[in-house]
Structures are given as C-alpha cells and as structure tokens.
C-alpha cells in the first residue's frame, strides 16, 4: 500500500509567495481540551486551500486564530507577512471573513448591507457605489439588490455574505463552510462564484468544508485536520494518487448476504480494506481488471448473488476515509 503524502512542515507551492503562513499553531481551551496540537501550512497567493476534518478536528479554531478572533497558545500565523498576534488591525484590513453564521442584517436590502459593510472599511462616495454595483453583478444579486434581505432565500443570503466579505478587496478570503445547509443547485452556483474569484486570481481563499466534493472541485490544495493535527496535505490529485489501486464496489442482490460477501472478499489474497454499506461491499485492489473475475467467481461459489460490480479510481472520500480510519476516528 502506498504511503499517503504526509505534511512536510510548512509545505506550500514552490516559487510562490505565501499569502498565509502557519507554524506550530497550538491551542488548548480552558478545561484542558487541546484543539490544535502544532499545525504547519502555507497558502500561496491566489491559491484556494481547503481545510477538511471531522467535527471537533480544530478547523474553526484555526479560522478563529487566523482571523484574529482568538489567540494561539504558541506558534505563529502570518497574513501577507504580518503576524496576526502582533498587528491584528492590519491583518483585519487584509482579510475578508464569511462565517457560518450570516452577518446579513435582514432589515436592510442587499445594497444597504453591502454599502454599510463598505463604509465600515472606509469606502465612500463613487468608489463605494461602484464597488457595491460590481459585487452585486458578480454574485448574481443585481436583481435582488433593492429587496429586503429578510425575503432572501438561504442561498441568496449566503451570496450576499460572500459579497460582503469581498467589499474592501481583501487579499485573503476566509470561507467557513460556505455551502453547508444549501441545496445542491445553490451549492453548485456558489461553487461557480468561488471558482470565478479564484480564476480571477485576485484573492487567496481558505475554506473549511465537510463536503469532500467541494474541496475536490475548488481547492488547489487540501489539508486534512484530525484531533488538532494536520494529518496530510497536498493537491487533490497528489492525495488521490498516493492511494495505490482501485476501489471495487459489489452490490449484492440481498442485503442479508452483504456480511457473507464481505467475509468472502476478505479471504481473497488480492483484496484489502473490505467494508459494507447496505447492499454495497467496497474493497481495495491493486489491479481491478485482474481481481474482478476472482471476486465474482468467489461470490458465485458461495452462492452470493451480485447485482452489479463497479470499479472506481480513488476519490477524495477514499483519501479522507483512509486517513480517518488510520487515526481510528469516524466522520
Ligand atoms: N470555546 C471553547 N471552549 C472549549 N472547547 C472548545 C471551544 N471551542 C471549541 N472547543 C473544542 O475544541 C475542539 C475543536 O473545535 P473546533 O470548533 O475548532 O472544531 P471544528 O473542526 O471546527 O468542528 P466543526 O466541524 O464541528 O465545526 C472541539 O473538541 C471543541 O469541542
């Protein structure tokens, strides 16, 4: 089995300036819970970097420290070369934050919310009006600009939150679970907006997410955080490529036979990491083309009927599950 790409301290993109640099960041909350246990990473200017991890892994704690809302016990974090602890005011001017909780004032219109946010950052007059129009256009909110935000759907409100985070042209945008709770259609629309921002190259993005597909689609690099430690980081392709082999998915006709199918596969020499989810039995093999006939023959010999067999290349889900299972944690 190939080793996963482990996180070299401060791994970043060679030759690109770090917009964000984190070294040895640690935090223990009152009561003794160690939420961060010394993490290192760099995010290059213009990159989209996704922090993944199960509940309680330390993602929000990392976000809070980087956005100056909380202090680490040790280690350093710098945005554009400025340490967050040393000059939080300067850091706040360089960053935009879209928190899980919406910052939209439901009593105002979209335009009013954006205008107020711009004023808080010192924008005024024509500059501010132009920036507000630009953002309304960019996030597809022009048609809703003068409606009360109270009437907005969850997705529209989230788009306004993102626009508000961008009003002062931050160098780094923090998105904390930007699409959690939104339906797939709106999620896809928001992904398009984030991808558009990234393609324009004007802003570096750090996002946290529970959706592996989101990280796979949007992120140039991802890091998996678990129990306060960064257990792996790299591009989605690197992380997937580090998992040797293919996944075989066998769907059994009768769910009662899934356990038997699992035991049969576990007895086959060339199959490893067999798991069951309902009617589907999943296993890893080095060479799917060679393994599939043996799998089917073994199932048929023991009288287990298979409805279908599929072979897939490793996904980011597989990367996540491999690391989560190594650590013995769930998702
Ligand atoms: N203010 C606090 N006081 C004490 N413990 C805290 C505090 N905030 C977070 N924790 C604990 O620290 C750990 C990390 O929490 P954090 O919110 O950073 O995780 P997370 O990865 O963002 O999780 P989620 O995906 O659920 O938001 C958790 O065990 C959490 O219970």
Cβ 60 under 6 angstroms from ligand 1 = yes
Q: Using the structure block, give the residue that is written with the tokens 């996540």.
A: 320
Cβ 35 under 6 angstroms from ligand 1 = yes
Nearest to 80 by CA among 223, 203, 233, 219: 203
Parallel, antiparallel, or unpaired: how do β-strands 221-226 and 48-52 relate?
parallel
ipTM for the complex shown: 0.96
Ligand 1 centre to CA of 165 (Å) is 23
Highest mean pLDDT among 21-25, 232-236, 276-280, 287-291: 21-25
Least confident of 146-155, 176-185, 192-201: 192-201
SS3 (DSSP) at 170: coil
pLDDT category of residue 59 using cuts at 50, 70 and 90: very high
Cβ 55 under 6 angstroms from ligand 1 = yes
Ligand 1 centre to CA of 58 (Å) is 6
**Ligand 1 binding pocket mutation candidate from 26, 32, 51, 61 (most atoms within 8 A of CB):** 61
Cβ 36 under 6 angstroms from ligand 1 = no
Please name the residue whose Cα sits nearest to atom 5 of ligand 1.
29
**Ligand 1 binding pocket mutation candidate from 32, 39, 56, 214 (most atoms within 8 A of CB):** 56
Q: What is the pLDDT of residue 8?
A: 40
The DSSP string of 190-217 is HHHHHHHHHHHT--EEEEEES-HHHHHH
The number of the ligand 1 atom at minimal distance from the alpha carbon of 60 is: 22
Q: What is the pLDDT of residue 11?
A: 46
> Using CA atoms, how far apart are residues 114 and 164, in angstroms rounded to an integer?
6
Give residue-wise pLDDT tens across range 296-316.
Answer: 999 999 999 999 999 988 888
Q: What is the pLDDT of residue 197?
A: 83
Give residue-wise pLDDT tens across range 237-282.
Answer: 888 888 878 889 999 999 999 999 999 999 988 788 898 989 999 8
Would you say 217 and 229 are in contact if contact means Cβ atoms under 8 Å apart? no
Q: Is 287 exposed, middle or buried (0-12, 13-18, 19+ CB in 10 A)?
A: exposed
Cβ 53 under 6 angstroms from ligand 1 = yes
Q: What is the pLDDT of residue 200?
A: 79
The DSSP string of 94-123 is HEEEE-SS----TTSBHHHHHHHHHHHTT-
Whether pLDDT at 15 is above 70: no
Ligand 1 centre to CA of 229 (Å) is 13
Whether pLDDT at 330 is above 60: no
**Ligand 1 binding pocket mutation candidate from 27, 39, 51, 58 (most atoms within 8 A of CB):** 58
Cβ 209 under 6 angstroms from ligand 1 = no
Cβ 61 under 6 angstroms from ligand 1 = yes
Phi, psi at residue 292, to the nearest 5°?
-55, -45
């Amino acid at each position: 089995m190939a080793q996963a790409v482990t996180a070299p301290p401060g791994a970043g993109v060679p030759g690109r300036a770090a917009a964000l640099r984190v070294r040895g960041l640690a935090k223990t909350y009152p009561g003794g819970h160690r939420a961060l246990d010394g993490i290192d990473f760099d995010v290059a200017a213009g990159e989209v970097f996704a922090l993944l991890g199960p509940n309680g892994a330390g993602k929000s704690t990392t976000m809070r420290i980087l956005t100056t809302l909380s202090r680490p016990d040790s280690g350093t974090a710098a945005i554009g070369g400025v340490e967050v602890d040393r000059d939080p005011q300067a850091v706040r001017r360089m960053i935009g934050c879209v928190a899980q909780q919406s910052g939209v004032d439901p009593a105002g219109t979209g335009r009013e919310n954006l205008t107020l946010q711009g004023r808080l950052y010192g924008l005024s007059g024509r500059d501010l009006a132009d920036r507000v129009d630009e953002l309304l256009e960019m996030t597809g909110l022009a048609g809703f600009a003068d409606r009360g935000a109270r009437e907005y759907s969850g997705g529209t409100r989230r788009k306004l939150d993102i626009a508000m985070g961008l009003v002062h042209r931050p160098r780094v945008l923090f998105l904390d679970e930007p699409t959690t709770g939104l339906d797939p259609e709106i999620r896809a629309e928001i992904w398009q907006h984030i991808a558009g921002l990234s393609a324009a190259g004007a802003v570096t993005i750090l996002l946290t997410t529970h959706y592996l597909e989101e990280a796979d689609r949007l992120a140039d690099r991802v890091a998996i955080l678990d129990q306060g430690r960064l257990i792996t980081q790299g591009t989605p392709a690197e992380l997937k490529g580090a998992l040797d082999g293919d996944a075989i998915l066998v769907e059994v006709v009768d769910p009662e036979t899934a356990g038997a199918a699992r035991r049969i596969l576990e007895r086959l020499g060339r199959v490893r990491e067999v798991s069951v989810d309902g009617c589907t039995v999943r296993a890893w093999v080095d060479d799917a083309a060679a393994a599939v006939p043996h799998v089917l023959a073994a199932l048929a010999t023991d009288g287990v009927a298979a409805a279908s067999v599929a072979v897939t290349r490793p996904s980011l889900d597989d990367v996540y599950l491999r690391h989560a299972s190594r650590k013995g944690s769930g998702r």
